[in-house]
Structure 1
Amino acid sequence: MERRNNNPGAVQYGNFMNYYQFNSAVERVKLLPSKDIWQPKQNNTRTENEPYLVLDVGCNCGVFTQLLQQFLGEQLQQPVHVLGVDIDERLIERAKAENTCLDKISYFTADVLNEDQFDSPVKTYLEQHHRQKFDAICCYSITMWIHLNHHDNGLQFFLRKLSQMAELFVVEPQPWKCYQTAERRLKKTGEVFPLFLELKWRSDVEQQIQKYLEQELCRQSVYESTPTKWQRRICFFR
């Protein structure tokens, strides 16, 4: 997980060590919808004391994860437990060290597409809460990194795998210009993303992701935020 030529902007998996210095977690929280979007379906038989479960994929060092837990707790007026996962062990170590809510937030290191690393801890977590799915799975600004490293099929598998585990699926896709920036930064170090030129989902990648979620995974768009300063929209699907 080393940065190329010690360049903090040239990363292969989006594991920026200083991510929240240029992408405010507080500002992202301000774009989140109210409780009506987050609440489980009306026919849910859960009791009030059962926690609302969230999986935060690509949680980095946990700054936003903690704010998300606080936000949802205030909105839903019930216990909210969040499991954060990131591919970078150093970021997870920071997240654990800075965790101020140990009873409700936990973290682990894994590549979501690596069955041995990811599936067992998630299964155990759900079993501990006597649940089969998360109330919400959040994927903020990570689809591009899955796409660049695993091609169109890998991104589709990622979306399908997580969608099957979620009641509410939250995705903040990066637009194509972000791909071009990531490739340009890596090129400056003498490397490239090998699959970049082979991708079929390109300039319309955001639309392709939405189309895949709606048409292939039978999800319905229920909310879309105003754009962030990076011109990314946070999209909610049931």
Structure 2
Amino acid sequence: MEIRNNDPGAVQYGNFMNYYQFNSATERVKLLPDKDVWLSNGDSLDESSYLVLDVGCNCGDFTQLLHKYLEECLKRPVRILGVDIDARLIQRATDVNELHENINYSCVDVLDETAFGQVTQYLEQYNRQQFDAVCCYSITMWIHLNHHDEGLKLFLRKMSCLAELLVIEPQPWKCYQSAERRLKRTGEVFPLFLELKWRSDVEKQIEKYCEETLNRRKIFESTPTKWQRRICFYR
């Protein structure tokens, strides 16, 4: 998980050490919808814990704000499991976590079956088979660059199986090009970059896959972030 040539922007897996210095967690929360999007029909009277999986949680800044937002919005207990591929980021998140009973962090590569067991074990604690919401904010590109089109499809299938509500903030193609340029400056490249078939229309391809293959329906799309990314909610 090392940084190349001491360049914090040259990372292979999106594990930026200073992510929230240039991508405000507070601004992202402002784009989130009201409770009608987060809840399915009949959930409004449910007082059980609302379970969330935050995939690619980085150092946990947004995870903490998301917990506060959802508890205020839903008026019920919220429990979040934040996972990230980088153990250093998970340690930072754990060190500043003041909500140990409500938020847990774990170092997990969600495409690694052994590590993924930690996610299913978390669900078992609550006698649940799915999370109420699985959040994938700005991580699809990193899955895609490192695992090809088929790896991204596998990721989407796995997350969909775990989720009542699937939340995805996909990066547009220009972000892929920027990531490739940053890595090239260090003398390295993403080996699969030129082989990707989902390219300039990657956002549309993800939406099409969610709707046509995973049989989900997009129920909300946020206004664009300053990076021109839209947060999409699929049920």
- TM-score bin (small chain): over 0.9
| Other structure's SS at 1:164 match | helix
TM-score normalized by structure 2? 0.98
Q: How does 1:40-55 map to 2 (within 5 A)?
A: 40-42=40-42, 47-48=46-47, 50-55=48-53
Shift of 1:121: 1.0
- Number of residue pairs matched by the alignment: 235
What is the alpha-carbon root mean square deviation over aligned residues? 1.1
- Find the counterpart in structure 1 of residue 23 from structure 2: 23
Distance 1:45 1:32, change over 3 A: closer
* Structure 1 partner of 2:11: 11
Counterpart for residue 166 of structure 1: 163
Query: Which secondary structure does the structure 1 equivalent of 2:226 belong to?
Result: coil
Contact 1:89/1:109 (8 A) holds in 2: yes
Specify the SS of the correspondent of 2:101: coil
Name which of 157, 163, 181 aligns with 2:154: 157
- CA deviations over 1:97-154 (Å, ceiling 9, x no partner): 0101111000000111000011x11111111111110000000000000000000000
Question: Alignment partner of 1:169: what SS?
Answer: strand
**Aligned pair partner of 2:186 in 183, 186, 189:** 189
Q: 1:53 to 1:46 in 2, by over 3 A?
A: farther
Unaligned runs of 5+ in 1: none
1:45 Cα deviation from its structure 2 partner: 10
Equivalent residue number for residue 200 of structure 1: 197
Q: Which structure 2 residues correspond to residues 106-121 of structure 1 after superposition, within 5 A? A: 106-118=104-116, 120-121=117-118
Match for 2:101: what amino acid?
A: D
Asked if structure 1 preserves the Cα contact closer than 8 Å seen for 2:51 and 2:132, the reply is yes
Is the counterpart of residue 236 in structure 1 residue 233 in structure 2? yes
Q: Distance in 2 between matches of 1:73 and 1:212?
A: 31
Identity %: 70
Q: What does residue 135 of structure 1 align with?
A: 132
Q: Do the aligned residues in 2 keep the contact of 1:40 with 1:135 (CA within 8 Å)? A: no
Moved >3 Å (runs of 4+): 44-47
Q: TM-score, normalised by structure 1?
A: 0.97
Gaps of 5+ in 2: none
